[in-house]
Homo-oligomer: A and B are copies of this chain.
Amino acid sequence: MASKVLMKGNEAIGEAAMIAGCRHYFGYPITPQSELPAYLAKHMPKRDGVFVQAESEVAAINMVYGSGGTGVRVMTSSSSPGISLKQEGISYIACAEVPCLIVNVVRGGPGLGNIAPAQSDYFQAVKGGGHGDYKLIVLSPSSVQEMADFTVLGFDLADKYRTPVMMLSDGYLGQMMEPVALPEATNIKKYDKPWATIGARGRGQNLISSIHLVPEDMEKHIEHLYKKYAEIEKNELLYEEYQCGDAEYVMVSYGITARICKTACVMAREQGIKLGLLRPKTLWPFPKMPISKLAQSKNVKGFISVELSTGQMIEDVRLAVNGLKPVELFGRTGGVVPTPNEVLTNVKRLFSIK
């Protein structure tokens, strides 16, 4: 493993993307993800890559549609309002099965909001902010290291399943610097893409399309997509349990918040409170079974969804717990990030601990 370098999360994505073989980036400026395109604008030309600043997020996502359709590894990035603008394109990409990586460095919303970190685009990412029945694989890094690792993973999953992958990050992770061990280029997998639209040389037409005008055909295609999604749910779930073995209370938290929760766990143990943390690394597929198992465990008295929103992931936690145990919310919004102490205090309040 190479020695660690100090990088911003946004830059780590950029570097990892290039290591993963990505040579095509299409995006539009927006804070707090600017370091990513800035990094690529600087480094892509040195590696014969293509960096295009599109005229808008809408154009960018459609460039991704075209580019990904040719089989190259392609990515785009934006932040909340820009991701909203991409929703039509994302729905097309999911339907037409174009592999690509879409990074959302989430900021405070709704509306223009602000550029502080938030997790209030969970529903949009996980349930489908675009129209129609589709899913994205949603990766949630929690450190700069994972920004790099999940970038490589994202490209891999995208190709493996011919599906768009979203990395749901936030303003903190994007902007913060931590030491990173960059992924090794030699570990990158390559995939055949016989479906790519690169010119019909010696074969029939390849087509990238999302129109299925006969309802029965459309339904068949949706069934095909959902079979694929079922495969992904089976194979690609990632999560981390921290001090859950004997936990009486389990926090479910992802991304930057999960780190704050980890510190809160440590603090709790110091106070004799058996607090655990389940951290989804994939938000879709969601760690339903692990949570369900915890819900069935005798130790566990309740769950707390800790998120930077008014309560979005909590619905998935509730669906997993399915009424077996109480599920409470501790959420801060609008870009406010709680301290570990505040998390712990609220866990205690919600379950009247001590």
**A residues adjacent to B (C-beta < 8 A):** 58, 80-85, 87-88, 91-92, 94-96, 106, 108-116, 118, 120-121, 123-124, 127-134, 209-223, 226, 309-310, 312, 315, 318-319, 321-324, 332-337
Contact = CB atoms under 8 A, between A and B. Distances in A.
Contacts of A124: 87, 127-131
A218 B123 contact: no
User: In the assembly, how many copies of this chain are there?
Assistant: 2
B221 A83 contact: no
A324 to B, nearest CB: 7
Contacts of A318: 319, 322
Given A109-B95, A110-B95, A315-B319, A334 B219 contact: yes
A132 B221 CA distance: 31
Contacts of A131: 80-81, 83-84, 106, 109-110, 113, 120-121, 124, 129
Contacts of A315: 315, 319
A215 to B, nearest CB: 3
Nearest to A83: B131
Given A110-B133, A219-B332, A221-B334, 5 more contacts: A85-B85, A91-B109, A123-B128, A133-B310, A220-B334
Contact of A222 (B92, B211, B310): B310
A222 B130 contact: no
B132 A130 contact: no
